Chains A and B, each alone.
Chain A
């Protein structure tokens, strides 16, 4: 029993001592106050990028031509994209574009501070195709030079001959009348009168024979008043046959003087 009482005394003393000791320590700092509702904290704010330049030069082009896009983006930028097929680009640069049609290019610059856009437009114009030729008036129309020359009739010859035979005389007489109007309608043109042969004579001799056929036809036309300085002759001998069968029918087709448009 006695022991218990002593223990209680001791405990009381200790508690007293403890209490005295605590009173002597420094006070702790106060905890942070809770945030006050309604007040925003200022963020660490970088500036958004700035599109200093975004141009297309020239801004008006013909279809098929090129324009040069130039751009410069300042500030904190992570990504620069130009649409319409250009794609991601550096923050400054240039690019040739060949838009088929008028195009408005949009540049989007993105950075921590946000995105900005710039636009520039390339206007494409195209030369219109030539209008269809006016409808040919029936009867007295002049047609095309090539078409009119192609309608001229060939003059045909006998084997190994360059004489103008009667059917060739008729054909060339009609040709002469047509030629005079063709050469009047198309003043800066010339006609090539080709001499041809069938396959039978030697190539070397036939070159001479074709020359004589073309010359004979030209002489005939001159007599009918076709201006000689507008007609050039050339012999193809048997180098350019219209057919290659070994028959009299084919041979006759190849023994001819033929008109072609000159350059």
Chain B
């Protein structure tokens, strides 16, 4: 009987997919984005040694945001302003050749980089120009950075940012001031920088699966747990101060809640069960929603508990199938997406926080898992084997209201565990496209894929403030 229902559902799903097909694909192109010119910044004296790190950090932060298009450097004029006083308006019309050669005349007439129109006009065609320089002062590295809006056609009123940034006089300091300057630039366009956020993930590079964290560009990878067991499934609290995860540290798979800084076990009480797993935080950060095989050691029902594990109560009720990976809508707090095998192969479902109104979100074809809410509370990313044999996961994106689905990765190995950046602009995920599982980021439309890890096998990333 169940099987018949499953088949009907699968047929319905197939029909749905045909209609949804046109929507599966890349979402946006670069067109329409503001264009920014970011010439190489130079450093005076000692500071020049770190400018390679500075320039690559600034470039990748801006490019990685997906918000701005960077004008190609090959189109830039030869003269690059380093401070506002470097700008000088060329004569409006040059009638008398001041040089024997005509081409020099033309170049002088357009300013050769000394004027805003040299950057806003062809071939650069930028809307904005970032410029500045660094130097060392009293043992610190100082960046003087400006952002000019070129649409004014003049320097008057063009300055959007003009600021001094200080960091340590070393490569790390150069990266830091670059991150800060990039954050200000992105902030000028209403976007939050990824700088300062953290990606938590699982790595086995020590020989055991432990929870690690890193910066969103893959730097500063550091180990959070030292259990020497199997520790995985990290989740991060909305304020970024706590993580929850599952570990075999006490033999049976159980949930832990840790503070992040400093890393400390906050003592989550696990109800007696053969499995307590897939914890995540409620939007207010005060409760944990998770899957447990309590009360009869049949995995799993969805439970809600206090942050310390006390006051646990079941939300889903049937002992006949597996319900795992509950994630509460971060905007409304009233609906939960989760993964269930209740209709056959694992699929993504949604229900009310009280366990009522259970409905399947994914069409039923193949297997679907790892749902993750965009902070907007309207979209989820998830893993799906659609179009491939079991185990060949790709990352997909769904508008929950319309059920419209887009495919973000395209069968380059297993692509799993998508999770959103705090602002919902990026997705971090694990992929085996380089053989061993590694952590990657991409824009919400699947472009600008960047690999963050290389050491050992790395998986199950989540992104916190």
In whole Å, how far is B293's beta carbon from the nearest beta carbon of chain A? 5
- Known contacts: A211-B297, A212-B299, A215-B297. The answer to whether A205 contacts B390 by CB under 8 A is no
Contact indicator B293/A211 (Cβ below 8 Å): yes
Contact indicator B383/A202 (Cβ below 8 Å): yes
Contact indicator B324/A207 (Cβ below 8 Å): yes
* Stretch from B13-21, B175-183, B260-268, B271-279 at the A interface: B271-279
By a CB distance below 8 angstroms, the chain B residues around A233 are: 274, 297
Contact indicator A200/B391 (Cβ below 8 Å): yes
Contact indicator A199/B298 (Cβ below 8 Å): no
The digit string for A219-250, where 1 denotes a CB below 8 A from any CB of B, is 00000000000000111000100000010000
- Asked if B346 CB lies within 8 Å of chain A CBs, one says yes
By a CB distance below 8 angstroms, the chain A residues around B299 are: 207-209, 211-212, 235
Interface residue range, chain B: 35 or more
In whole Å, how far is A238's beta carbon from the nearest beta carbon of chain B? 10
Contact indicator A212/B298 (Cβ below 8 Å): yes
- Asked if B365 CB lies within 8 Å of chain A CBs, one says no
Once the chains are docked, how many angstroms separate the CA of A204 from the CA of B291? Answer: 10
Interface residue range, chain A: 20 to 34
Once the chains are docked, how many angstroms separate the CA of A144 from the CA of B253? Answer: 29
- Asked if B233 CB lies within 8 Å of chain A CBs, one says yes
- Known contacts: A234-B274, A235-B253, A235-B274. The answer to whether A202 contacts B322 by CB under 8 A is no
Contact indicator A200/B322 (Cβ below 8 Å): no
In whole Å, how far is B84's beta carbon from the nearest beta carbon of chain A? 55
The digit string for B356-399, where 1 denotes a CB below 8 A from any CB of A, is 00000000000101100000000000010000001101000000
In whole Å, how far is B317's beta carbon from the nearest beta carbon of chain A? 16
Which residues of chain B from 288 to 329 have a CB within 8 Å of any chain A CB?
291, 293, 297-300, 322-325
Once the chains are docked, how many angstroms separate the CA of A202 from the CA of B293? Answer: 17
By a CB distance below 8 angstroms, the chain A residues around B293 are: 208, 211
- Asked if B252 CB lies within 8 Å of chain A CBs, one says yes
Q: Which A-chain residue is minimally distant from B251 (CB atoms)?
A: A234
Contact indicator A209/B322 (Cβ below 8 Å): yes
By a CB distance below 8 angstroms, the chain A residues around B274 are: 211, 214-215, 233-235
- Asked if B187 CB lies within 8 Å of chain A CBs, one says no
Q: How many A-B residue pairs have CB under 8 A?
A: 91
Q: Which B-chain residue is minimally distant from A234 (CB atoms)?
A: B252
In whole Å, how far is A197's beta carbon from the nearest beta carbon of chain B? 11
- Asked if B339 CB lies within 8 Å of chain A CBs, one says yes
By a CB distance below 8 angstroms, the chain B residues around A160 are: 341, 345-346
Once the chains are docked, how many angstroms separate the CA of A215 from the CA of B296? Answer: 10
Contact indicator B322/A203 (Cβ below 8 Å): no
- Known contacts: A203-B232, A208-B324, A211-B293. The answer to whether A159 contacts B367 by CB under 8 A is no
- Asked if A201 CB lies within 8 Å of chain B CBs, one says yes
In whole Å, how far is A204's beta carbon from the nearest beta carbon of chain B? 5
By a CB distance below 8 angstroms, the chain A residues around B253 are: 207, 234-235
In whole Å, how far is A7's beta carbon from the nearest beta carbon of chain B? 120
The digit string for B212-247, where 1 denotes a CB below 8 A from any CB of A, is 000000000000000000101100000000000010
Contact indicator B369/A204 (Cβ below 8 Å): yes
Q: Which A-chain residue is minimally distant from B296 (CB atoms)?
A: A215
- Known contacts: A160-B341, A208-B291, A211-B274. The answer to whether A201 contacts B390 by CB under 8 A is yes
Which residues of chain A from 182 to 222 have a CB within 8 Å of any chain B CB?
198-205, 207-209, 211-212, 214-215
The digit string for B331-345, where 1 denotes a CB below 8 A from any CB of A, is 000000001010001
- Asked if B409 CB lies within 8 Å of chain A CBs, one says no
Closest 10 CB pairs of A and B: A200-B391, A208-B299, A208-B322, A211-B299, A202-B369, A200-B390, A205-B346, A208-B300, A211-B275, A204-B324
Listed by A's residue number, 22 A-B pairs whose Cβ atoms lie within 8 Å are: A160-B345, A200-B390, A200-B391, A202-B346, A202-B369, A204-B233, A204-B369, A205-B324, A205-B325, A205-B369, A207-B275, A207-B277, A208-B291, A208-B323, A208-B324, A211-B274, A211-B297, A212-B298, A214-B274, A215-B297, A235-B253, A239-B232
B interface residues, Cβ below 8 angstroms from A: 209, 230, 232-233, 246, 248, 251-253, 274-275, 277-278, 291, 293, 297-300, 322-325, 339, 341, 345-346, 367, 369-370, 383, 390-391, 393, 416, 459-460
Known: A204-B233, A239-B230. 20 other contacts (CB 8 A): A160-B345, A199-B391, A202-B370, A202-B393, A204-B278, A204-B339, A204-B370, A205-B341, A207-B253, A207-B275, A207-B324, A208-B293, A208-B324, A208-B341, A211-B299, A212-B298, A212-B322, A233-B274, A234-B252, A239-B248
